[in-house]
Structure 1
Amino acid sequence: MYEILISIIFLITVGYLVAKNYDAKIILFLAAFALLYISVFMGHPIETTTPTGSIWLDPFAKATDVFKMQMGIVGLTIMMLFGFAAYMNHIGANDAMVAVLSKPIKKIRSVYILVPIVFLLGNMLQMVLPSAAGLAILLMATLYPALRTAGMSPLTAGAVIATTATITPTPLGSDNVVVAQHLNITSLEYVMKYHAKISIPALLIMAFTHLLWQRYLDKRAGTMNVPYTPDHSLDKMGEKIVIPPLWYAIFPILPIILLLIFNLVFLDHETGKPLLKMGLPEITLISMLIPIFIELIRKRNFKQSIKDFNLFFEGMGQGFYQVVSLIIAAGLFVEALKSIGIITMLTDSLNDVEGAGPILMFFFSGMAGLIGFLSGSGIAVFHSFIKIIPEITQQMDVNTVLVALPMQLTANLIRSASPVAAVIIIVASVLKVNPLTIVKRTSVPVFVGIFTCLTLSYYFYG
């Protein structure tokens, strides 16, 4: 009983501090150590691969175990993808892709037809620009003026851009890599077999909802076909953007192209398995070397090309700081919860309950949604519990995907409906409006998306 009470206090405290914008990974890390020592004090052993010989030092051995595990192939993959994205951003390949996608958009004259088109194209860009805030900055500088010129109202354009980084089914997404690891499959398998089945219909429904909701609010506010006056601040945002040759747009999606080629083209027709065993790290390295070689030929500056290669390693460091460190801290916190026995108690209490699957789905998704709304990101909660979800569901004979997938999708979607999320604050600051004004525009499409994800997840995997 005391274990349950202590665990609930820690969960509430961690959630509160994350909602108050304390650094999630530091809070999780400190809370994990505190919980591990409480476990030791209460007589619960800390299981480690290399016991220290002292129960009071075993929490450090457990932390080392978590570091070793998370710094393996998954941590390396995430860091390399961040390094690749940093280099793509530096050489302007991401800008080239935005420019290529913007060209057909500028030719469309029907303002509200543009809403779902821009929403879906923006979500496609998430495959190459994983940062929601970074994508928003780029689109506000490059695409926003084009949308305004076409006659789209400022709030409609801002709302669409604020929801461009949501639940794109990409095998390069760090959260998809993590879930796939815990399901013991590749990220490509996870996306094609499970994620896309839910996320693609949800994105299409969100796109249609966006159209209806933005048109309704524009009509009510009398802001349909508002004349566009160029904003000097937007000019400043875009003045440093130098677009390279437009064919550079192919570089950001090279990993996806190569991933599909190696996994779908080079197949053993008898076994159905790939003939070439190329993982994401190897594919990312190949995708890096090709544009480096092209840059060397195009600019004829060997010294500068070598110097630019450093951005790959700087990006890897950023990947560790932003994502891998959070996964490590969350993993240690979950290990602490397991050590005190709360996970066992939870599974035992729900073992004989009818319909335990939907209960778990709503519990974990609701937790990600609530903390995500309050803090601006539900990803910290998602990474905290993704490790134990397979353990809980297997013990209770519940489909792991039913619990993990809707929680993941909710954690990503809720960001665009939180007034404290970086992406909302960026768009609101450019438009010089209150963040709640943007949230009013994004909330309906976002919550329709969450409802769709939960409904489809239960239908397919419940």
Structure 2
Amino acid sequence: MLMYIFILTLMISSLIYKRKYIPLIFILLGVVVSLFNGVDLREIALNFSNALSSVFLSIGLNIVVIIAFSEYVNKNGATKDLVLLVYKPISKIKDRYLILAMFYLIGLALSTVITSASALSMIYMSTVFPILISKGISKEGAAGMIASVGVIEFGHLKSSTIFMAEEQNRLINDYVINGQLFLFIGIAIVGAISHYFWQRYLDNRLTNDNDEKSLTDNLDYQHKISIFTALLPLLPLFLILPEHLFTKLNLPLWTIGMICISISFILDLKSNKFNVKEQLSFFLTSISNSFFFIVSVIVGGKFLVNSLPIESIINIYSHMSLGSINPIILSSVLLLAIVLFCTLLGSGTVSFITITSIMSKFKIVSMNQFSSTFTSMQMISGIGRTISPVSPTTLLCSQISGVTLSSIILRNIVPTILIVILSIIYSNI
């Protein structure tokens, strides 16, 4: 056990150090853990290969393509056109942090349709982020809020919702309306208010806000806006929403991203903004940067997590007697455990499955007296991603915004704590 605490300490320390060394440190730690557990080198290589292929063919491919699109529409001026288009009506709202809170609530609503937190964060980074910056909100504040919009597991389309409804032998509509909705409204209110005051407080502590206001200062308000160009950053959203609502295609996010990039390329070629060589060079550079600074971290983290003997730990504690445990203490421990698991693993799905597997051994998943506890667990199973240094959501928000991972985590600590406290209270009503 001491060895795993030491490894965890090294893991956290590496995240505070230079990001470029993080993947290598994770991989080396994974190799050390595997060798300590008696795994031979061939199996270690196979495990790493599996981690690389599973990450790149799923979230990795999505990340590199969507980030490439986000950076490209910023380069060709579409992002600034969008800011100019939206700035005038938004400028009538004097309180910029009220705008930030409103976009947080809109993001929660969108997350019921766009079920991938990473996908929603990518879309928000290419659209909402520049708008918030143009209003004078810091990069850290805007990116921190965006990293948190898609992590609440609410709605019919969430896989964890479907799973928990089945575990509790409830119809999906009954579970969402009578189980999730009340807590979701509370989370939305607490999240919006906490982001409003916490981001404002931290922004007021910044001594130099020149970088945050640079986008606004550089905008030419006399510039003639092309509506079509201004809507380009919203193109992924225009494709995703109808595809989810009206079809059963279930196109991968990277496919939608490639469609958006192709449309942008063709429009820019027709307007002679860039030539083919410049476009391809920019695209390849963006992909390589995203892979080495984001995807490689996720691969290394997944390889390390897969090397840890989580099943053995589960088996050790699966024989505990729950009869003498206070329900309030149990619900608090379970909720804190799932947040901790999610923070360490960077995945809400993995943490939820892990905790649920423990509960299956305890045979209490379907017990009525714990139904609100498991609803809370299910809904906040992904909230640890907002303060996780290995979460794809925080990594991509950090990469696109140009702020440090520690800044993203700091911006989400208070909202996360308050939402967890609310969930604990709800579990014991």
Task: Note the alpha carbon deviations across 1:382-415, whole angstroms, 9 max, x for none.
Answer: 4378646524523423599855763532431689
Assess if the C-alpha contact under 8 Å between 2:132 and 2:142 holds in 1: yes
1:455 to 410, 422, 426: 422
Assess if the C-alpha contact under 8 Å between 1:168 and 1:199 holds in 2: no
In the TM superposition, 1:307-346 aligns within 5 A as 307-338=278-309, 342-346=310-314
SS at match of 2:251: coil
Residue 84 of structure 1 aligns with which residue?
69
In the TM superposition, 1:232-311 aligns within 5 A as 245-266=226-247, 274=248, 276-297=249-270, 299-300=271-272, 304-305=275-276, 307-311=278-282
Q: Distance in 2 between matches of 1:9 and 1:344?
A: 18
Question: Residue 213 and residue 360 in structure 1: after superposition, are their counterparts in 2 closer, same or farther (change >3 A)?
Answer: closer
Task: Note the alpha carbon deviations across 1:132-160, whole angstroms, 9 max, x for none.
Answer: 9x948x855x332xx8xxxxxxxxx7885
SS at match of 2:346: helix
Q: Distance in 1 between matches of 2:22 and 2:126?
A: 17
Residue 207 of structure 1 aligns with which residue?
192
Query: How much does 1:117 deviate?
Result: 1.8
Q: Distance in 2 between matches of 1:71 and 1:104?
A: 40
* Pair 1:18 & 2:15 matched: yes
Q: Distance in 1 between matches of 2:426 and 2:354?
A: 22
Query: How much does 1:451 deviate?
Result: 1.9
Question: Residue 254 and residue 206 in structure 1: after superposition, are their counterparts in 2 closer, same or farther (change >3 A)?
Answer: same
SS at match of 1:71: helix
Residue 7 of structure 1 aligns with which residue?
4
Query: How much does 1:13 deviate?
Result: 2.8
Residue 431 of structure 1 aligns with which residue?
none
Question: Residue 121 and residue 216 in structure 1: after superposition, are their counterparts in 2 closer, same or farther (change >3 A)?
Answer: closer
Assess if the C-alpha contact under 8 Å between 1:167 and 1:199 holds in 2: no
Assess if the C-alpha contact under 8 Å between 2:352 and 2:381 holds in 1: no
Assess if the C-alpha contact under 8 Å between 2:335 and 2:377 holds in 1: yes
Task: Report the structure number with the largest CA radius of gyration.
Answer: 1
Query: How much does 1:58 deviate?
Result: 2.6
* Pair 1:73 & 2:58 matched: yes
SS at match of 2:123: coil
Task: Note the alpha carbon deviations across 1:206-231, whole angstroms, 9 max, x for none.
Answer: 4334556799999xx9x9xxxxxx98
Query: How much does 1:329 deviate?
Result: 0.7
TM-score, normalised to structure 2's length?
A: 0.66
SS at match of 1:57: helix
Q: Distance in 2 between matches of 1:56 and 1:212?
A: 51
- Number of residue pairs matched? 366
Question: Residue 457 and residue 309 in structure 1: after superposition, are their counterparts in 2 closer, same or farther (change >3 A)?
Answer: farther
What value does the CA root-mean-square deviation take over the aligned residues? 5.0
Q: Distance in 1 between matches of 2:402 and 2:303?
A: 32
SS at match of 1:128: helix
Q: Distance in 2 between matches of 1:458 and 1:395?
A: 23
Q: Distance in 1 between matches of 2:269 and 2:89?
A: 31
SS at match of 1:300: coil
Gaps of 5+ in 2: 108-119, 164-171, 366-372, 390-396
* Pair 1:117 & 2:89 matched: no
TM-score, normalised to structure 1's length?
A: 0.62
Taking only the aligned residue pairs, the percentage that are identical comes to 18
